[in-house]
Each structure stands twice: as C-alpha cells, then as structure tokens.
Chain A
Amino acid sequence: MKQKILVGLTAMALATLGTQGAFAQAAKAKTGKLSGDMVKVAVMNDMAGVYADIGGPGSVEAAKMAVADFGGKMFGKPIEVVFADHQNKPDVGASKAREWFDVQGVDMIVDVPTSSVAIAIAKVANEKKRVYMNTGAATKALTNEECTPYTVHYAYDTYALANGTGKAIVQTGGKTWFFLTADYAFGHALEADTAAVVKASGGEVKGAVRHPLSASDFSSFLLQAQASKAQIIGLANAGGDTINSVKAANEFGLTKTQTLAGLLMFISDVHSLGLKTAQGMMLTDAWYWDTNEETRKFGRRFFDKMKRMPSFDQAAVYSATLTYLKAVQEAGTDDADAVMKVLKKTKINDVFTKGGYVRADGRMVHDMYLMQVKKPEDSKYPWDYYQLKKVIPAEEAFQPLALSTCPMLKKK
C-alpha cells in the first residue's frame, strides 16, 4: 500500500516537473490533484439582454461541447459546466463570481462580455487566484492597466479591431472618417483606438457624434455623419445599436455616397440585418465558421444544437475551455498558478486557432480576419455571409508586447 502511494506521488511529481520543463514533452499526467474532486468550468455572460445572441446560452453549449470532446472526465473525476447571467452589470457579475469561487468551488470562468463586467471579474479572479479566460469583452485594458497573472484575454480586443478594420480601409482609399460612437467606456475606447490607427495610416478624422446606449432612433446622428462628408462612417458601437445604425443609414441613403465600417460586428448582427442591408460592410473577425473543413464541421455541430451558426465568441469559449482542460491535464492539478504556467508555454492548435499562444500580459495572440459582407446574390447557402479580404497575421493583429502597460511586465 505504502509503495503504491509512493509510486503515485513520484509519478505526480515527475508529471509536474515534465510540464515545467518544456511543452514539447508529451508527459501528460494520467492522475492528478483536483480541488473539490472535480473540475468546474463556469460560463458567465449576458443571457437575455443586448449581447445574448453573441454569447448567451450558445456559449454554455460551446463549453459543454469542449468538455464532451475532452472526454468528459479529468483523472477519472467529473467535469462540470455551470453558468450565470451577469445582466451586463459589474456588481451582479462580481458577486456571482465570489459565490462561485468561495462556495461552489469553480475553477475557471469563461466568456464575460461587456467590458465593465469583464474588468470587475478580473479583479475577483486575481484576488481568489483562479483562472479567468475572457472571450467576450473588447476592452484592451484586460491586458494593459488591468492585467493580472490569472487573466487570459482570448479572442479579440479594441486594438485588434481598430487595427484590422481601420488600417485596411485607409489603405484601400478610405481617408476621411466620422465616428458614430456609443457613449460609454467601450465605445470611447474603440473610437480612440481606431482614430489613432486612421491618423497613423495617413487618414483624417472629421469628427464624431456620441449616442446613448440602446438609442431608439439613429437618424439624427446619421444626418450629422452625412453632413460631415467623410468617406467612411465608423460605427464604434455594438449589438442592437449597430444594427439600427446600419438600418437607418440605408434608409437615409447614406450608403450610396459613404461607406459604413462596423468596428465590432458579430455574425449574429449580420444575420439579423440580412445581407440586403448589410452588404459591402467591412469588419474584423476573430473566427468564421466557413473558413475550412474543420470549422465547418464545428459550425454544423453547433448549428444542430442551437439552430444558428456560432459567433466567434462562442467558438472562442469552446477553444478556451478545451485549452484550459488540456492545461489542467498537463499540469496534473487545477491549481491556478500551475495551470497558468502551462497555458503560457503551450501552443494552441484547435478549431479556433493554429499556433495561437498566450503572452506574458495574458493576451492570446492569433490570426485575425478582415471580412467583407457578401452581396445577397453571392451568398450560396444559409449563413454564407463573409468574403475573406485579408488574413491579419497574429504578430500584426494585436498590440505589440512592448507597448503593453501591464504592470506585471515592468517587475521583470
């Protein structure tokens, strides 16, 4: 008996050493230590509000798919997926996260759209020392001033969006810009980042108008955009606000003389606008279901369950969950420090990214895609919405590590 325990302990020690050595080593632990005798993955997002179609119940399904693909068990112990609605309110999200960590033994939180909530959860996860993989929020603060040793910002951020769409459009001749901006932290950040890219690429910003979140009518704002005579109208808003801006821009004939640039658009937005209205728009995407055979297979599997194709956020939730589970397996424990160590050394190869990796500041770096929405006559089958214009290589897509203001980087 004693011998068995000794063997077990040695194996575990070896396994841990192995992972700390090099990721190339295939020394995956068959046994390991789990807090609460299980792995608990928690999906937190907006379940019924403006962002519910981007993540919502679909993200929970994506996390469950990842658990199923992993095999459903970790070291012979169960893996459980729980979820909650943060209602886009930082206080609601933060108190739920505390309850999850303190009472329910949650090991990792994933998704969390809405930048303000995302930052609140980062603070709680840091305090409780648990892994936090954000796929849903846009703010680049998560890997800058608000970075923590436990945050992984997985799918995208305002820098990548601005850099993708902004730069590409200026290069194709869209020199003068006017912004239609949602009047809160996210909108301002997206506008500022994009304006900086536009100016750096030789473009000119003619002005901006700020509209309240969930405005009921956009025609007045668009009339101002029209009067600016800018070539490009940058929509620094999201969800229902973007949808209604695009709709009104079509109705008022802006799209005949000016081009709309959706700075943050999800496939669910394009789906609900319809191609007739959305055609021609440029956008930056982190993942598209119709890219290759592997993504199509994943898309169809998801479609069978949710009756819609996955957004890039939902695909990222799948990938982040799977990556986390693999890291726990390799670390031989769900201890956050050990798992983070593995995460920051591992190349991610799955349906979401090939060769993606997590940087010291927590940013997961991967290729991004510049897309253009197809004309209705070019769309051959349901959800055939995007034309790939350009692959933005990982190194160009995200903010260079040297520019990150993450305090963790300075210590070294």
Chain B
Amino acid sequence: MSEIFGIPIQAFMGQLMLGLVNGSFYAMLSLGLAVIFGMLNIINFAHGALYMVGAFMAWLGLTYLDLGYWQALVLAPLCVGVFGVLIERTMLQWLYKLDHLYGLLLTFGLALVLEGLFINIFGVSGQPYSIPDEFSGAFNLGFMFLPKYRAWVIVSSLVVCFATWYVIEKTRLGAYLRAATENPKLTQAFGINVPLMVMLTYGFGAALAGFAGVLAAPAIQVSPLMGSNLIIVVFAVVVIGGMGSILGSILTGIGLGVIEGLTKVFYAEASSTVVFIIMAIVLMIRPAGLFGKEK
C-alpha cells in the first residue's frame, strides 16, 4: 500500500475528509462571530451557548412537539435568531460606544447563565438525537466509509457560508451593511436605518450559531457543555483569519479543521493544541490575522 509521510494513503485521505467535516463547523461558527464583530464590534462570547441552544431546540422540538430534523433546521435557527435580537435590543445596544471589554463580559456572562440553566434542567450528560433516516448509512469512498450525515454537514455548511459571503460582499444589502460599519453616522444620513441593520445582523449571527447547533445535534451528544468545548477553538480561528473578515473566517475554519484532523494521526496528544500554536505563529508574523486589514 502506498504511503504519505509514513502513514497509509487511505488513512491520510480519511483524516482529510474528517478534517473537512470539523472544519465546516468551525467555518460556520467563526463566520457568525466574524459577522458580529465586523458589524457590531462586539466579541460575542455567547456564541457557543447559542450553538448549544440551537441543538437543544432541535432536541426539544423532536421530543415534545414531534418536529422532525428538517423543521428543526429551519425553526431552531429562527428561534435562536429572535433570541439574539432580544439580547441585542435589551442589552447589547447600550454597549457599542464602550470598550470591547464590556461586550465581552456581558456575552460571557450570558453564556454562563444559559449553560447553567440548561445543566439545571437537562443534566450534563446530555440527550441523544438520532441521525435522520434519510442520512442513515454511508458512502463508500474507496479510501473510507463516510457516513451520509457527515457528507451533508460539509455540503450544507459550505452552501450557507458562501451564501453569507455573497450577500455581504456582492449585494446592495451587503453594501449598506459594510457602509454602516465603516461610518454609521454618514450612512444614517443617507436615510438607511442603521440600528435596524445592526439588530438584524446580530440576529443573523445568532441564527448561524443555532443552525450549526442543529447540524451538530445528530453527530455529537446534545449537551449543555457542547458549546464551551468548541468555542475557544472557534475564537482562535477568527483571530487567525483576521477579526471581522468574512472570507478569512470561512477559509481559516476549513483549513484549521483539516490541519487538526491530520494532527490527530501524527501526534494525537497535540490535536487540541495545534490550533493555538498556529495562532501564535500567525500573530507574530501578521498581527491582524491572515485576511485581516491593519487599521
């Protein structure tokens, strides 16, 4: 059997594929963070908790309302988005003019409250969410056995990521958004409702986290701690990609997922550290991140 770097090519390809799956999650979550930071200047530490809430919404819907996976995929992000709008209107909007630190503290506190609430109600071991019947089984790719559900995760998250990128970078609505970020006062003077756009942006970022949560529900245990296990890595992704850069967060997310996957083969013990080593190196060479602009 042929080998790459001393491991069989089959194992190598398999790990590459799995890295792509994890990278899709990183991309989707870091995208939401980047959108929120880019538009609102808020470092949204509640993002992991919103992802967890999305997964729980799917589980609650299935258990108590008999809503299937597809309904959950639409409804749960909507609910989380509305919840995000509520947070923005009642709390965050008072913090835009203050230092980043206040937004960070508020959202971090929110994350702790949400996690605590869910632990109290559901316990830490979490709840099982089965893979929808359409996706049971697997594709035989020759070099590996790829569960259909994981393939769906890659496809759907790529579609969502690039749609978001397209809307923000290539459409008129996106142009308004970008203008509102650059110079809110001037944009408002042109008759564009900036506070409304900001509110919807936060709602959209939250909905993205909720969407990722629903996608994750069948793949990993729906547990109150699922967000905090992931969020630190996602923050590293955003920093490496360049705070606020949309394309940067998508590409970095996928890239780091793959690098992490390969680390698991070569030296598994370092797989939780490798992202941070890369972060340190990138920050030394390019302090604004790979795709960030120096201000």
Contacts and interface: CB of A to CB of B under 8 A. Distances in A.
Interface of A: 48-53, 56, 183, 209-212, 214-217, 219-221, 223-224, 227, 239-240, 243-244, 247-248, 251-253, 268-269, 271-274, 276-277, 308
13 contacts: A53-B124, A217-B18, A217-B220, A220-B19, A220-B265, A221-B268, A223-B11, A239-B125, A247-B128, A248-B220, A273-B221, A276-B128, A277-B128
Given A212-B271, A240-B221, A251-B219, A274 B229 contact: no
A223 B14 contact: yes
Contact of A220 (B119, B128, B261): B261
B221 A210 contact: no
Contacts of B125: 53, 239-240, 243, 268-269, 271-272
B116 to A, nearest CB: 7
Contacts of A48: 116, 119, 124
A50 B11 contact: no
B225 A268 contact: no
B99 interface: no
Contacts of B128: 247, 272-274, 276-277
B126 A272 contact: yes
B123 A223 contact: no
Contacts of B264: 209, 220-221, 224
Contact of A240 (B22, B223, B261, B268): B223
B158 interface: no
Interface in B218-250: 219-221, 223, 225-226, 229-230, 233
Nearest to A212: B272
Given A253-B145, A272-B125, A220 B18 contact: yes
B127 interface: yes
Nearest to B14: A223
Contacts of A215: 229, 271-272
A212 B21 CA distance: 19
A136 B282 CA distance: 43
B42 to A, nearest CB: 24
A221 B124 CA distance: 23
Contacts of B11: 223-224, 227
B15 interface: yes
A51 B219 CA distance: 21
Interface in B125-174: 125-128, 130-131, 138, 144-145, 147, 149-150
A272 B123 contact: yes
Nearest to A308: B123
A158 B220 CA distance: 27
B144 A223 contact: yes
B66 interface: no
Nearest to A275: B128
A227 B225 CA distance: 30
A227 B8 CA distance: 10
Contacts of B18: 217, 219-220, 223
- Return the 4 tightest CB-CB contacts between A and B, nearest first: A212-B272, A272-B125, A220-B264, A274-B128
Interface of B: 8, 10-11, 14-15, 18-19, 21-22, 116, 119, 123-128, 130-131, 138, 144-145, 147, 149-150, 219-221, 223, 225-226, 229-230, 233, 261, 264-265, 268-269, 271-272
A219 B130 contact: no
A53 B14 CA distance: 35
A252 B145 contact: yes
Given A221-B268, A224-B268, 11 more contacts: A210-B268, A214-B225, A216-B226, A217-B18, A240-B124, A248-B220, A251-B150, A251-B219, A272-B127, A276-B128, A276-B130
A216 B220 contact: yes
Contacts of B15: 220, 223
A350 B132 CA distance: 46
Nearest to A254: B145
Contacts of A219: 18, 21, 150
Nearest to A48: B119
B271 A252 contact: no
Contacts of A277: 128
Nearest to A215: B272
Nearest to A278: B128
Contact of A268 (B123, B131, B221): B123
Contacts of A210: 268-269
Given A240-B225, A252-B147, A272-B123, A247 B220 contact: yes
Given A183-B269, A253-B138, A272-B128, A216 B149 contact: no
A12 B150 CA distance: 71
Contacts of A209: 264, 268
A85 to B, nearest CB: 12
A49 B229 CA distance: 12
Contact of B221 (A221, A227, A247, A252): A247
Nearest to B135: A251
Contacts of B126: 240, 243, 272
Given A211-B271, A221-B264, A251 B149 contact: yes
A217 to B, nearest CB: 5
Nearest to B220: A244
A52 B119 contact: yes
A254 B75 CA distance: 33
A217 B269 contact: no
Contacts of A217: 18, 21-22, 220
Contacts of A220: 15, 18-19, 261, 264-265, 268, 271
A266 to B, nearest CB: 9
